[in-house]
């Protein structure tokens, strides 16, 4: 049994609120440990620590800050197996997939090593007579991240990597379902030479989140999670005068044109639909074959592939996916399958009855596949976040495009086609933030930015890439003139450089 507390001021500290939550091991349903749930006072202690440590860190030159991140990358490589094993145990995804979770986070830390470049300002010599103008980027102070269960390494690093590289101190409030890896990241940051207090982890639930949102010393909050909470965090954080960016839920469509390579499309659909048990914000949850004929060809190949998906414990090296994260998540997802049946969709593969031999108490279900789903059904409109794929048949390309455009979510989308014109038109017109052309999960690399549209994101800047440095810094612009440049007397009109 593990006992997770918080990580404040460079040390593990036990929780003092008296409130805890169980952390489960989804592969067999056993309790793996307990995690402390912070009170407002515990959040405040972390913020005070961070606030005291931040000025010296900001005054450390950006190359030296970057070198700490370089060392951190080395240490994560050293401990990669240990971290992936812990991540898989607490989350339920397979160890190989857990390694991808860590890797995509570390790639943003690699990008953040470019902080000396990203922090550079602009300079105009001679903007007026004897007048120069320059701008600089300065850190905000203390920033916070509130992160979901489904990428316990990647998303904390997407937030903390750029924030820390820019000279901020960071308070992370990770998901209470898999707190082990965030605490391990805190230990590695410290070992890499990050001063105590610059990266803190406060475990908790709504009470800790509200304390973060209301704390006057936290200047920016980056959130990732479900849309209803994203909207709440955005409203409350903005109301207290912070910068807030919130990334929410998704319903990602994959459009399959009649000229697509059907084998490639089917490979893409099973991987992107069922990988990590569908618990990815960029999972494909809706397949839209265009024309009846293409739909029939697709289903002929897709059904046997879904029927033969390999489900296994997270430790299995050849499982396609593992258990869901909690017993409640399993019930919720199965509940959606029941709803789909009642709504009249055709359940062509039913994974609800799947039991994992030897792991009967684990949170497993098999892949489910619905055909003839229509846009008024709840299983189409709502995010299921499980191994359930819905097929919506479209008659024309225009109808398929409208489906993606009319959906309230706009995180990711893909089109499979050999027709460059169709792909180009789609990329230009689709109202979704991240688009794949024959790529099912178009998560942009670290040096581009990540963010959905519509109700998949609240705020105006994306995660990672150059936007992260804009989000975690403020711009100061200096207009300067030296005595030799002063030619005129007092001026009472707005200055122009004309
Ligand atoms: P969640 O919304 O339940 O939790 C996210 C965070 O909010 C956690 O830290 C949690 O402790 C906190 N929280 C939960 N309930 C709260 C409440 N009532 N008040 C204040 N804080 C609260 O999300 P989850 O189940 O951990 O993650 C899955 C969701 O995250 C899915 O909807 C998925 O699409 C989304 N997601 C989005 C992205 C993206 O970049 N758009 C990436 C990953 C996950």
pLDDT tens by residue, 254-301? 999 999 999 999 999 999 999 999 999 999 999 999 999 999 999 999
Distance 59 CA to ligand 1 centre (A): 34
**Domain 2-248 belongs in CATH node 3.50.50.60:** no
Please report, rounded to a whole number, the percentage of residues in the chain having pLDDT higher than 70. Answer: 99
Q: Is 454 left (phi over 0), alpha (psi -120 to 50) or beta?
A: left
Residue having the nearest C-alpha atom to atom 1 of ligand 1: 225
Length of the chain: 498
Q: Which atom of ligand 1 is nearest to the CA of 325?
A: 25
Element holding 269 (H helix, E strand): helix 262-274
Q: Which atom of ligand 1 is nearest to the CA of 230?
A: 2
Tally of CB atoms within 10 A around 146? 28
Residue having the nearest C-alpha atom to atom 19 of ligand 1: 206
Residue having the nearest C-alpha atom to atom 20 of ligand 1: 206
Please, which pLDDT band fits residue 495 given cuts at 50, 70 and 90? confident
Domain boundaries, given as residue ranges, for the chain? 2-248, 252-437
Tally of CB atoms within 10 A around 185? 28
pLDDT mean over 140-167 = 98
d(CA 334, CA 379): 11
- Say if residue 485's pLDDT is above 80: no
pLDDT mean over 6-34 = 97
């970057």: which residue's tokens? 66
The predicted pLDDT at position 489 comes to: 77
Distance 34 CA to ligand 1 centre (A): 20
- Say if residue 497's pLDDT is above 90: no
pLDDT mean over 111-132 = 95
**How far is C-alpha 394 from the chain's CA centre?**
30
- Which pTM was predicted? 0.96
Q: Under a CB-based contact definition with an 8 Å cutoff, are residues 233 and 209 in contact?
A: yes
Which residues have C-beta atoms less than 6 Å from ligand 1?
Answer: 146-151, 173, 175-176, 205-206, 209, 224-226, 229, 247-250, 281, 383, 385, 411, 452, 456
Q: Could you say which of 3.50.50.100, 3.40.50.2000, 3.40.309.10, 3.30.365.10 is the CATH number of the domain covering 252-437?
A: 3.40.309.10
pLDDT tens by residue, 230-255? 999 999 999 999 999 999 999 999 99
Please, which pLDDT band fits residue 486 given cuts at 50, 70 and 90? low
Q: Which atom of ligand 1 is nearest to the CA of 329?
A: 25
Distance 309 CA to ligand 1 centre (A): 27
Residue having the nearest C-alpha atom to atom 9 of ligand 1: 175
Q: Kindly indicate whether the ipTM for this predicted assembly is greater than 0.95, answering yes or no.
A: yes
The predicted pLDDT at position 305 comes to: 98
pLDDT tens by residue, 52-72? 999 999 999 999 999 999 999
Q: 491 is written with which tokens?
A: 């001026």
Catalytic annotation on 143?
A: no
Same fold, 2-248 and 252-437: no
d(CA 366, CA 292): 27
The predicted pLDDT at position 40 comes to: 98
Distance 249 CA to ligand 1 centre (A): 8
Q: Under a CB-based contact definition with an 8 Å cutoff, are residues 385 and 407 in contact?
A: no
Q: Which of 76, 143, 246, 281 is catalytic?
A: 281
The predicted pLDDT at position 492 comes to: 84
426: exposed, middle or buried (Cβ count in 10 Å: 0-12, 13-18, 19+): buried
Residue having the nearest C-alpha atom to atom 42 of ligand 1: 281
- Say if residue 491's pLDDT is above 70: yes
The predicted pLDDT at position 292 comes to: 98
pLDDT tens by residue, 318-377? 999 999 999 999 999 999 999 999 999 999 999 999 999 999 999 999 999 999 999 999
The predicted pLDDT at position 496 comes to: 79
């Amino acid at each position: 049994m593990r006992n997770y507390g918080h990580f404040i001021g460079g040390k593990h500290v036990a929780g003092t609120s008296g409130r805890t939550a169980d952390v489960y091991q989804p592969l067999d349903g056993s309790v793996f440990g307990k995690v402390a749930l912070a009170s407002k006072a515990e959040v405040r202690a972390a913020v005070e620590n961070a606030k005291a440590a931040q000025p010296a860190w900001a005054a450390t030159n950006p190359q030296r800050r970057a070198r700490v991140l370089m060392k951190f990358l080395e240490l994560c490589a050293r401990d990669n197996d240990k971290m992936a094993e812990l991540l898989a145990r607490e989350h339920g995804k397979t160890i190989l997939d857990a390694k991808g979770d860590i890797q995509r986070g570390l790639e943003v830390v690699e990008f953040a090593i470019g902080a000396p470049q990203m922090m550079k300002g602009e300079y105009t010599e001679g903007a007026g007579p004897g007048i120069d103008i320059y701008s600089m980027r300065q850190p905000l102070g203390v920033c916070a991240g509130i992160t979901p269960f489904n990428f316990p390494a990647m998303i904390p690093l997407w937030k903390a990597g750029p924030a820390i590289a820019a000279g901020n101190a960071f308070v992370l409030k990770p998901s209470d379902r898999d707190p082990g890896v965030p605490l391990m990241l805190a230990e590695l940051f410290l070992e890499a030479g990050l001063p105590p207090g610059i990266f803190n982890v406060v475990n908790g639930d709504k009470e800790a989140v509200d304390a973060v949102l209301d704390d006057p010393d936290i200047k920016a909050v980056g959130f990732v999670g479900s849309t209803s909470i994203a909207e709440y965090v955005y409203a409350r954080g903005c109301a207290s005068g912070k910068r807030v960016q919130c990334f929410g839920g998704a319903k990602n469509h994959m459009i399959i044109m009649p000229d697509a390579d059907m084998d490639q499309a089917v490979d893409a659909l099973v991987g992107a639909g069922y990988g990590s048990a569908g618990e990815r914000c960029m999972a494909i949850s809706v397949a839209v074959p265009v024309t009846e004929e293409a739909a029939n060809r697709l289903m002929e190949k897709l059904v046997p592939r879904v029927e033969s998906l390999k489900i296994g414990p997270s430790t299995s090296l050849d499982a396609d996916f593992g258990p869901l994260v909690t017993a409640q998540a399993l019930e919720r997802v199965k509940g959606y399958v029941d709803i789909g049946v009642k709504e009249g969709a055709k359940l062509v593969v039913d994974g609800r009855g799947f039991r994992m031999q030897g792991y009967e108490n684990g949170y497993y279900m098999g892949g489910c596949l619905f055909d003839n789903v229509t846009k008024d059904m709840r299983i189409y409109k709502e995010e299921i976040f499980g191994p359930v794929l819905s097929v919506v048949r479209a008659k024309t390309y225009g109808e398929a495009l409208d489906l993606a455009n009319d959906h309230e979510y706009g995180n990711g989308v893909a089109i499979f086609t050999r027709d460059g014109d169709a792909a180009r038109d789609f990329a230009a017109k689709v109202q979704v933030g991240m688009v794949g052309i024959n790529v099912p999960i178009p998560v942009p690399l670290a040096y581009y930015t990540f963010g959905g549209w519509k109700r998949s994101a609240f705020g105006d800047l994306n995660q990672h890439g150059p936007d992260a440095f804009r989000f975690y810094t403020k711009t100061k612009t200096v207009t300067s003139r030296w005595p030799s440049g002063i030619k005129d007397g007092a001026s009472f009109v707005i200055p122009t450089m004309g």
